[in-house]
């Protein structure tokens, strides 16, 4: 267990909650791969499940949610068979800078926010197709909000502006520490129902990872505001 799930675990401990947390990933693979190769490992009575597929929805057909729709439906059926009350959600991820600012990218020439919105639309279609799926976590839209409010720099290829954070790692694809911190905050707020901003300036992970108190508060507020906006829009 590491990355965002480890951050989520720490957040729950700080909030006085008790969660057993597990992570199962295979780099560069979608839910269809996990369905084919990881079913024996994942077929258990989980209370909460968060499913995330490949970053472009389909590696060979960017923006096409067909595989996501089919795979998430199959997983939901499996998890509900084990636990009829399982809280199953999908997680819509962020715009990839390399897919937006590089000529080879599927979203080249479009605003940095476009890919996240397209990805979210695909996850919405998957959730709508399977009633057992409760909803979609707005991680990509939280990134968009961080950019729109000036907390995060929109383009890592031209440097990071003073006072802003870079949400992407060196590859301009995966998340940086700031990006994964924001992801974990969104998951924490959605799953537990707690206000991410309640973690406060002294949040332990932020201090250990080198985030300033102001940065921690700013990202916590972004997560809180995005979750509140999605809740009102339902």
Most confident of 22-26, 192-196, 228-232: 192-196
* Residue 172, pLDDT score: 98
pTM, entire model: 0.96
How many independent structural domains does the chain possess? 1
* Residue 230, pLDDT score: 74
Q: How far apart are the first and last CA of the chain?
A: 32
Q: Where are the beta strands (DSSP E) in 66-183?
A: 87-91, 133-137
* Residue 233, pLDDT score: 55
Q: Is 47 helix (H, G, I), strand (E, B) or coil?
A: coil
Closest listed residue to residue 219, CA positions, set 137, 192, 157, 227: 227
CATH of residue 176's domain is 3.40.50.1110
Q: What is the residue range of 225's domain?
A: 3-233
Q: What is the DSSP letter of 94?
A: P
Q: Is the pLDDT of residue 12 over 90?
A: yes
List, for residues 81-140, the tens digit of each pLDDT value.
999 999 999 999 999 999 999 999 999 999 999 999 999 999 999 999 999 999 999 999
CA-to-CA dists, residue 194 to 8, 18, 22, 138, angstroms: 12, 13, 20, 16
Q: Is the pLDDT of residue 180 over 70?
A: yes
List, for residues 135-158, the tens digit of each pLDDT value.
999 999 999 999 999 999 999 999
CA-to-CA dists, residue 122 to 12, 14, 23, 41, 142, angstroms: 29, 34, 23, 26, 17
Distance in angstroms (rounded) separating the CA atoms of residues 180 and 3: 7
């Amino acid at each position: 267990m590491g990355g965002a799930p480890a951050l989520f675990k720490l957040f729950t401990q700080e909030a006085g909650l008790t969660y057993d947390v597990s992570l199962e990933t295979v780099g560069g693979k979608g839910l269809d791969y996990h369905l084919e190769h990881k079913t024996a490992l994942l077929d258990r009575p989980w209370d909460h499940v968060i499913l995330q597929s490949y970053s472009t929805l389909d590696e060979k057909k960017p923006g096409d949610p067909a595989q996501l729709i089919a795979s998430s439906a199959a997983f939901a059926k499996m998890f509900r068979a084990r636990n009829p009350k399982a809280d199953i959600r999908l997680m819509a991820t962020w715009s990839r800078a390399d897919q937006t600012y590089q000529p080879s990218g599927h979203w080249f020439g479009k605003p940095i926010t476009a890919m996240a919105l397209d990805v979210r639309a695909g996850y919405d279609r998957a959730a709508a197709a399977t009633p057992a799926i409760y909803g979609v976590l707005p991680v990509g839209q939280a990134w968009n909000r961080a950019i729109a409010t000036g907390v995060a720099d929109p383009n890592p290829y031209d440097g990071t502006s003073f006072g802003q954070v870079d949400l992407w790692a060196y590859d301009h694809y995966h998340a940086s520490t700031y990006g994964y911190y924001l992801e974990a905050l969104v998951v924490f707020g959605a799953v537990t129902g707690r206000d991410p901003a309640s973690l406060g300036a002294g949040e332990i992970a932020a201090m250990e990872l080198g985030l300033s108190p102001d940065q921690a508060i700013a990202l916590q507020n972004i997560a809180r505001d995005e979750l509140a906006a999605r809740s009102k829009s339902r």
